[in-house]
Amino acid sequence: MILALHLLAGPGAWPGMAALWLALLLTCSVHVAVWTGAAALVARRRALSSSTRHLLWKMALFGPLATLLLAAVMSWAFERAPGDTASPGEIAVLSLEDAPAPAVLDAAREISGSTRESAGAGSPAWRAGGSQAWSLLAACTAGAAALGLLRFASSALLLWRGLRGRRSVQDARLLQRLDRLRARIGMRPVALTESAGVGSPLVIGASEICIPLARLAALTDAEVDAVFAHELAHIERRDGLWFPAAGLVQSVLWVHPLVHLASSRFRQTAELACDDRAVELTGDPLGLARALVQVASGASLAPRRALVPAMARSAGALLPRVRRLLDAGSRARSTPSPRGRRRAIASLAAAGIAAASLSVQVARARPPLLASGAGGVLARDRGAALDATTSPPDAAAASEQMAELARREREIEARLEEALLLPDAQRADTQAAVRVLELRQELRHARAAKAWIEERFVDDWTTWERRPRASGSAPR
């Protein structure tokens, strides 16, 4: 089942890249909401380990990108017979057939003059109301995304400038303790560097740990082991690569509050998972707690670096982690459960697959083309369309309009049948697929206009029949 919301710029107006960009953002917003909501519900289970919760929030942050691509592929993977009014899961948004009669009347009034000059061309009013509106909204959202990318680039530049002067650590004690822990894990060699620009240990890339040398040199052996075990856990989980990617997603979609929520939970649970892994490696939760307290004093004065996993970002954020390390019950509840992990991942993946069936698409629709002499009734306001006291409704004009619309309907159906035979008609993001969608929308509008003309003629005739008659006039 495909649930597609169709955005229409207006009759005769081609939305172009502006509307396509907005449709992409709307689809992405829907997917982010589904993924984040599902992750929040699944992560509330108390039996889940911190590593499982981190994986859930990682899926919530990056999953919408995958399902967005999948939705683009699935959105055209269904067929309709020519002339069908709608697919079972399709909703037309801003479509003339969904508008009340006054809206159809206004649209007809706008196109009545333009159809005499150029068949198929939209009126300037429609172009101004459709194309300019799409362009303005697209420019705002594109500007917001560009601003986020600029902020990401500036953060990356500041990080590079702050760390470019780092050098290898020569302290034999620190190197020995790091190698001992690394060998226990079975990890490849890891570079240990130091820099005056960092306030707490952090991981850079896939295999480098950067530390504030003076602060770590003052720690005891147990505290140094806890620090290195925590940072090696980050390397083991590839957080040095995942954190910049998360920062990029958050920068591009910074206007979406749920993206900030998912990114924040992603970072928090990563630190908790590494805390648990460090305790598993050292067997000393008190040593890690003391190390966190020692590192926190320097972290509060150092610049915040969200693009890399840092052991301590601020003193306030460390208090819940220290309490958790001192609470044996909390750490016991975080014991990994393979069965619970599989269930949680399956539940969130199911929600993500469901999100892939939701998409926002763009279509262009043109109004029914009326003959130059057949737009009289549609082009007039309802109050001025009929002088009920003098003459009956113009049946000839209404019949001419109905005949013109019927001819137009047959023409669209023939063109739609031809378009469906094209090789790329059922493939997404092709001119043929877009053309099929345009013709289907245009067919709906022609049928809606024909039904409206018929309904209005009946109403006007009934009104004329019930008009007050002058004294002495004989009823018909």
Report the alpha-carbon distance of residue 155 to residue 305 in Å, rounded: 8
Please give the residue that has the higher pLDDT: either 71 or 18. Answer: 71
Could you tell me the pLDDT band of residue 93, with boundaries at 50, 70 and 90? very low
Nearest to 107, CA basis, from 96, 117, 119: 96
Q: Is the pLDDT of residue 259 over 90?
A: yes
What residues contact residue 5 under an 8 Å CB cut-off, 6+ apart? 26, 91, 93, 359, 360, 361
> Per-residue confidence at 165, pLDDT binned at 50, 70, 90?
confident
Residue 122 pLDDT greater than 70, yes or no: no
DSSP-assigned beta bridge partners for residue 92: 6
Map tokens 């055209």 to a residue: 76
Spatial CA neighbour of 438 closest among 373, 363, 380: 363
Rounded to whole angstroms, the Cα distance separating 219 from 292 reads 11
Both tokens of 405, joined, read 């619309």
Least confident interval from 19-28, 325-334, 361-370: 361-370
The burial class, CB within 10 Å (0-12 / 13-18 / 19+), for 16 is: middle
Q: What pLDDT is attached to residue 221? A: 92
Strand ranges across the sheet with 191-194? 167-168, 191-194, 208-211, 202-203
139 confidence band (pLDDT: 50, 70, 90):
confident
Q: What per-residue confidence (pLDDT) applies to 95?
A: 33
Provide mean pLDDT across the span 62-79: 73
State the residue for tokens 């840092």: 310
More confident residue, 373 or 336: 336
The number of beta carbons lying within 10 Å of the beta carbon of residue 455 is: 11
Does 226 score more than 90 pLDDT? yes
pTM over cut 0.85: no
Q: What is the pLDDT of residue 75?
A: 59
pLDDT for the residue numbered 47: 79
Which tens digit of pLDDT belongs to each residue from 101-112?
Answer: 444 444 444 434
pLDDT value of residue 84: 39
Give the model's pLDDT for residue 3: 52
Q: What would the mean pLDDT of 333-338 be, rounded to a whole number? A: 63
CA–CA separation, 421 and 435 (whole Å): 12
Q: What is the pLDDT of residue 172?
A: 92
More confident residue, 292 or 385: 292
CB atoms within 10 A of CB 7: 20
Can you give the pLDDT at residue 448?
Answer: 84
* pLDDT band of 44, cuts 50, 70, 90: confident
* pLDDT score, position 196: 82
Residue 80: pLDDT band with limits 50, 70, 90: very low
What's the pLDDT score for residue 336?
Answer: 61
Looking at the predicted structure, is the pLDDT value of residue 128 above 60? no
Mean pLDDT of the chain: 74
Q: Rounded CA gap, 376 and 389, in Å?
A: 19
Q: Predicted confidence band at 315 (pLDDT cuts at 50, 70, 90)?
A: low
Of 80-94, 223-237, 331-345, the least confident:
80-94
298 falls in which pLDDT band (50, 70, 90)?
A: low
Give pLDDT tens digits for 424-448: 777 766 777 778 888 888 888 888 8
Structure confidence at residue 121 (pLDDT): 39
Query: 168-211: per-residue pLDDT in tens?
Result: 999 999 999 999 999 999 999 999 999 887 888 889 998 999 99
Confidence category of residue 339, pLDDT binned at 50, 70, 90: confident
More confident residue, 119 or 255: 255
pLDDT band, very low/low/confident/very high, at 113 (cuts 50, 70, 90): very low
* pLDDT surpassing 60 at residue 391: yes
Using DSSP's 3-state secondary structure scheme, residue 139 falls into helix
Mean pLDDT of 383-401: 65
Considering only residues 352 and 260, tell me which one the structure prediction assigns the higher pLDDT: 260
Instruction: Tell me if 281 sits within 8 A of 181, measured CB to CB.
Output: yes
Quote the CA–CA distance of 344 and 53 in Å, as a whole number. 9
Query: What average pLDDT does range 457-476 have in this prediction?
Result: 67
